[in-house]
């Protein structure tokens, strides 16, 4: 099997930050066979390997001295269904929002609140993507992944993935050990709408929609996202750079004495989630520009590349933001973006 392996390839168009960085080796694969051939190639034994989906959750701070792979395994199919539910298997290389649109067109509910999230299907369970009250774990059934070391396939069910807030086993103990091939989701044929989070209900009211469908919810989510988040095609960014921190109720009540308007969301584990964007804004970062990079004017959670910025400078900016939040609120921010 002939595979096109390239050397010293620019990754600028393969990451939504638009950062200029080179990969020592670069290749794309469209099947399990091609992937195995690449991993077994004599030039790549022991060489660091990363998978780029849409490149929407990564910040390159330097060149990557290893192999960068682009997953192009496609295909969407029904693998099981009954009167109420349908199991949809998608290749990991499918664009996430294309899958969302496909499901909406078939009136399969469950992922409409995740509309317009950038990236590929394969990346979705890795960090348990979520938005507007829905996370991947809510609709996840299983996935197939290839173990790099052995080339063997393994099925992971929900409990195996150890999903947490923007976390999974693939970001912790199994980090860099598996490559996701496909993901199966369990969706509803009689959708149950989730419109209580954020401004979805407000936007639906503005649209004069009293009995919304999943398509309406998706449209509302898209309107909210585009009003808050910059399009990477216009301004380089990776969406939310930081996780919303979870703190104890005791710490929250102490902060509330000092900051009466501090917003919060209760969590199922008894902690309180505080919006990282609000924390950043209170520290004066919203709209802060440092030459050709900075913090977005409409959302303090988003770091941006206005053009030809250095990834390491953006990393230093993120560290400065974390330091200021720690000093002002005694809250430690965690990055959502993978820094390389």
- Candidates 307, 305, 289; CA nearest to 297 is 289
Residue 78: burial class (beta carbons within 10 Å; 0-12, 13-18, 19+):
exposed
| Both tokens assigned to 242 | 């930081």
The DSSP element (H or E) to which 326 belongs, if any, is helix 311-329
3-state secondary structure of 314: helix
- Residue 169: CB atoms within 10 A of its CB come to 18
CA distances from 89 to 17, 64, 182, 318 (A): 29, 32, 7, 37
Q: What is the DSSP string of 175-214?
A: TTTEEEEEEEEEEESS------STTHHHHHHHTT-SS--H
Cβ pair 102, 110 in contact under 8 A: no
Residues with catalytic function = 166, 240, 336
């Amino acid at each position: 099997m002939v595979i096109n392996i390239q050397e010293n390839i620019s990754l600028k168009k393969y990451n939504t930050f638009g950062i200029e960085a080179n990969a020592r080796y670069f290749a794309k694969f469209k099947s399990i066979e091609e992937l195995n051939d690449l991993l077994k190639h004599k030039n790549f034994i022991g060489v660091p390997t990363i998978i780029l989906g849409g490149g929407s959750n990564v910040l390159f701070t330097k060149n990557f001295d290893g192999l960068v792979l682009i997953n192009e395994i496609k295909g969407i199919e029904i693998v099981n269904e009954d009167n109420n539910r349908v199991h949809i298997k998608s290749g990991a290389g499918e664009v996430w929002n294309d899958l969302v649109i496909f499901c909406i067109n078939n009136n399969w509910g469950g992922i409409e609140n995740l509309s317009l999230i950038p990236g590929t299907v394969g990346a979705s369970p890795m960090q348990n993507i979520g938005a507007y009250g829905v996370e991947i774990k809510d609709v996840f059934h299983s996935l197939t992944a290839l173990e790099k070391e052995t080339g063997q396939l393994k099925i992971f069910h929900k409990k195996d993935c150890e999903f947490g807030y923007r976390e999974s086993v693939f970001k912790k103990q199994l980090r860099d050990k598996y490559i996701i091939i496909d993901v199966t989701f369990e969706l509803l044929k009689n959708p149950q709408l989730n419109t209580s989070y954020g401004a979805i209900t407000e936007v639906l009211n503005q649209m004069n929609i009293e009995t919304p469908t999943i398509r309406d919810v998706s449209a509302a989510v898209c309107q909210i996202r585009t009003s808050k988040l910059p399009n990477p095609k216009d301004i380089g960014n990776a969406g939310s750079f930081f996780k919303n921190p979870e703190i104890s109720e005791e710490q929250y009540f102490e902060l509330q004495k000092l900051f009466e308007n501090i917003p919060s969301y209760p969590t199922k584990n008894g902690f309180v989630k505080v919006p990282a964007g609000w924390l950043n804004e209170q520290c004066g970062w919203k709209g802060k520009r440092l030459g050709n990079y900075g913090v977005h004017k409409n959302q303090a959670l988003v770091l941006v590349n206005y053009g030809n910025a250095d990834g390491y400078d953006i990393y230093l900016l993120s560290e400065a933001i974390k330091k200021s939040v720690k000093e002002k609120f005694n809250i430690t921010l965690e990055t959502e973006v993978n820094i390389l």
